[in-house]
Chains A and B, each alone.
Chain A
Amino acid sequence: MSSSILIKNGHVIDPASGLDEKTDLLITNGKVASIGDNQEGNGAKVIDASGLIVSPGFVDLHVHFREPGYEYKETIKSGAMSAVAGGFSSVCCMANTSPVNDNGTVTSEIVKKGLEAKAARVYPIGAVSKNLDGKELAEIGEMKEAGAVAISDDGKCVLNPKMIRSAMEYASMFGLTVIEHCEDESAKDGVINEGEVSARFGIKGIPPTAEDSIASRNIVISAYTGLPTHLAHISTKGTVDAVRLAKAKGLKVTCEVTPHHFTITEDELESFDTNFKMNPPLRTKEDLKAIKEGLKDGTIDCIATDHAPHASWEKEVELDKAPFGIVGLETALPLSLKLVEEGVISLTQMIALLTCRPSAIFNLPGGSLKKGSPADICIFDSQKKWIVEPEKFLSKGRNSPFNGKTLKGKNIVTIVDGNIVYNPANL
């Protein structure tokens, strides 16, 4: 078991317990042992966190680590290292690997590789359907026993309404939530948001209704069955409005938003730069405004990166031929802090969106600094400015739309299960 660590003089913020003060935090036996001023470590390693914020480690419900099958894009190890570099102590990885994570054997393999990585906790998300084909249910029970924390065909939408309902009903037996990638068939062959930029430049559009129709469908099924539905990476005003209404009715509807969808818009596509191509696509200023309102009023439950690494050569092609997706783990914190600086949300709200709120959706450990909780912690500098240089990412992916941008806020130390797994400054 790990030795003791004393984090001194940090600004400790834990939304789950309402803690927000300059104090010390002691870790022993991999757990948060005590919080309070002037603690004696009794031989513990001391980290001086003066001027830094001490937060529960971040929890990302949506990443794509490409193992098994596409290790040239990302491995579980490189992904888990990228996570801790960004302040994430827990990540949930989607099932669209090769082979697909649609059975317990693959799930177990991911869990094993995750433990070997000795970085972030890696939680597998199992597939809804075998081979993500949307036809037959995957072995959800077996995957749950092997460690799956949710199920999703992400990358693809479960188009058949009967299938998604079956999945929700069947998964409920194991206490698992189904995550939907909301995209109907009207998005087929689309490249960027259907709007001003697609009209001007003759690029095939993905209409916002492609997302809204499926989000609404899932809300309707959730209302009818009483079962939970979690909507991945929502990107449109229509879906934010639909979720707000669903929550007002008390339905078990939750959703996540990515940092890129609350930071940049379709206007970036004027450059035809493939690093701005992801699915769902960057939307309009109105959508961005609606997402910020959703973050502010609690309609949106959490921030998730949809970290989707690709090899550089795969992105160095024509816009319509490039794969969807961008890396996000190592830029999520500063982009989220920008919301705080803009006054959209408070720092405590931001931390909640990255910690206790996502962990609650899938009942994951962590996300809190309550005494006795697992010592999953990140220590970050909310003021440090740095230039995004994708070559320096711990992820294998270099496909960041924020390449070359100066961002403010950087994670300094990450502790997972009481072990220091990221500390390049040697605090």
Chain B
Amino acid sequence: MPTATEELNFTGKNLIRMADLTADEIRGLINTGLRFKEVSEREIKKVPALRGKTIVNLFFEPSTRTRTSFEIAGKRLSADVINISASASSISKGETFKDTILNISAMKPNAIVIRHSSPGAALIASQITDCSIINGGDGAHAHPTQALLDLMTIAEKKKNFENLNVTIVGDILHSRVARSNINALRSLNANITLCAPPTLMPPRSDVFGAKITTDIKKAVKGADVVMMLRIQQERMGQGLFPSLREYARYFCLTPEVMKETKDDVIIMHPGPINRGVEISSEVADGNKAVILYQVTHGVAMRMAVLYLICGGTKDE
């Protein structure tokens, strides 16, 4: 685990969105994450770094993966982790969001991880309470720990972010993962290409500073990293594309499409994957996919975030 605090550039109280972080802070977080990865590989996977600290996982929408990842991360740091889900709390009883945040804060946790379907929820929470807020995903807005674990995965496989060709394919419009990665990759000077049907690309996508195409072969040409996004079936009923079958025809990452990438490309996916829709089984299970590393890195990166936010300061 890290001891040389001068290397840790992130000293923030909250983690709301990647756009708030400097390139140095992002690098500091990646390095801390890589060090914590080692803890997960030990026989005894527990360090006392956050003993006596309380972390609340406040989930307004269900997400077993992210919640479990934060929970394991907190427990490996010896923190007390409490999970509160919308259905099990007073959230559904007409209490306002502000009331809920104030009530949880009044119990004096060291950090609250918030997952919410509304964009901006974590930011609003951070304005309501003095407690540290970690955004565990808010609507289509941001998912900073996902972006950080993705970057950590890239950092481990690639030398440098500078001029790295990263292609993101899929439902950009509704994706907090895409937004967070775009912000972070821009800070690190990577070249970004976005690929989606126009109906799944936000109007004014020029704000992303990325190359934009609807042709997946063009999109992945020369790519060092390809990130596939999960397609939500319910988008079909919204008139955004006709069928999963037709979506797959134009946007599925297949061995055929893979021919266009660099040989040492890595294939990422935030999970859970839809086999045969956005990614073929051959590719998902192939040697270029790093999807399960991402899951492992999720725990390490969340340990890094919790450590730096709850325990990294000297006065505590």
B-binding residues in A (CB < 8 A): 194-196, 198-203, 205, 207, 272, 313, 316-321
CB distance from A62 to the nearest CB of B (A): 28
Which of A201, A202, A316, A318 gathers the greatest number of chain B CB atoms within 10 Å?
A202
B120, A203: Cβ atoms under 8 Å? yes
With an 8 A cutoff between CB atoms, is B276 at the interface? no
A202, B97: Cβ atoms under 8 Å? no
Q: How many A-B residue pairs have CB under 8 A?
A: 66
Binary flags per residue of B202-220, CB closer than 8 Å to A gives 1, else 0: 1111011000000000000
CB distance from B311 to the nearest CB of A (A): 29
B 226-260 contacts with A by CB, 8 A: none
Contacting residue for A202 out of B124, B139, B204, B205, CB 8 A: B139
CB distance from B298 to the nearest CB of A (A): 21
CA of A196 to CA of B204, assembled, Å: 6
Tally of contact residues, B, Cβ under 8 A = 24
Which residues on A sit within 8 Å (CB–CB) of B120?
201, 203, 272, 318-319
B203, A320: Cβ atoms under 8 Å? no
A272, B119: Cβ atoms under 8 Å? yes
Binary flags per residue of B182-197, CB closer than 8 Å to A gives 1, else 0: 0000000000000000
Which residues on B sit within 8 Å (CB–CB) of A203?
119-120, 139-141
B 99-156 contacts with A by CB, 8 A: 116, 118-121, 123-124, 139-142
A272, B124: Cβ atoms under 8 Å? yes
B202, A198: Cβ atoms under 8 Å? yes
CB distance from A387 to the nearest CB of B (A): 21
A199, B205: Cβ atoms under 8 Å? yes
Which residues on A sit within 8 Å (CB–CB) of B119?
201-203, 272, 319-320
10 residue pairs of the A-B complex, CB under 8 angstroms, read: A194-B203, A195-B203, A199-B208, A201-B141, A202-B141, A203-B141, A205-B203, A272-B124, A316-B97, A319-B119
A-binding residues in B (CB < 8 A): 96-98, 116, 118-121, 123-124, 139-142, 174-176, 179, 202-205, 207-208
B97, A200: Cβ atoms under 8 Å? no
A318, B97: Cβ atoms under 8 Å? yes
Which residues on A sit within 8 Å (CB–CB) of B203?
194-195, 199, 205, 207
Which residues on A sit within 8 Å (CB–CB) of B179?
200-202
CB distance from A359 to the nearest CB of B (A): 40
Which of B140, B175, B204 gathers the greatest number of chain A CB atoms within 10 Å?
B204
Contacting residue for A318 out of B116, B140, B175, B202, CB 8 A: B116
CB distance from A77 to the nearest CB of B (A): 27
CA of A279 to CA of B168, assembled, Å: 34
Which residues on A sit within 8 Å (CB–CB) of B141?
201-203
Which residues on B sit within 8 Å (CB–CB) of A198?
202, 204
Tell me the nearest residue of chain A to B179, going by C-beta: A202
A319, B176: Cβ atoms under 8 Å? no
B98, A195: Cβ atoms under 8 Å? no
B202, A320: Cβ atoms under 8 Å? no
B124, A318: Cβ atoms under 8 Å? yes
Which residues on B sit within 8 Å (CB–CB) of A201?
119-120, 141, 179
CA of A196 to CA of B140, assembled, Å: 14
Please judge, given known A-B contacts A202-B179, A316-B97, A319-B118, whether A272 and B207 are in contact too, CB under 8 Å. Answer: no
CB distance from A120 to the nearest CB of B (A): 32
Tell me the nearest residue of chain B to A272, going by C-beta: B120
CA of A201 to CA of B204, assembled, Å: 12
Contacting residue for A199 out of B97, B142, B207, CB 8 A: B207
A317, B207: Cβ atoms under 8 Å? no
CA of A262 to CA of B268, assembled, Å: 46
CA of A203 to CA of B207, assembled, Å: 14
B139, A316: Cβ atoms under 8 Å? no
**Given A201-B179, A316-B96, A320-B119, 12 more contacts at CB 8 Å?**
A196-B207, A198-B204, A200-B208, A201-B141, A202-B139, A202-B141, A202-B179, A202-B202, A203-B119, A203-B141, A272-B123, A321-B118
CB distance from A208 to the nearest CB of B (A): 10
CB distance from B206 to the nearest CB of A (A): 8
A321, B204: Cβ atoms under 8 Å? no
CA of A198 to CA of B124, assembled, Å: 17
CB distance from B240 to the nearest CB of A (A): 13
CA of A317 to CA of B121, assembled, Å: 9
Please judge, given known A-B contacts A195-B204, A202-B179, A205-B203, whether A321 and B97 are in contact too, CB under 8 Å. Answer: yes
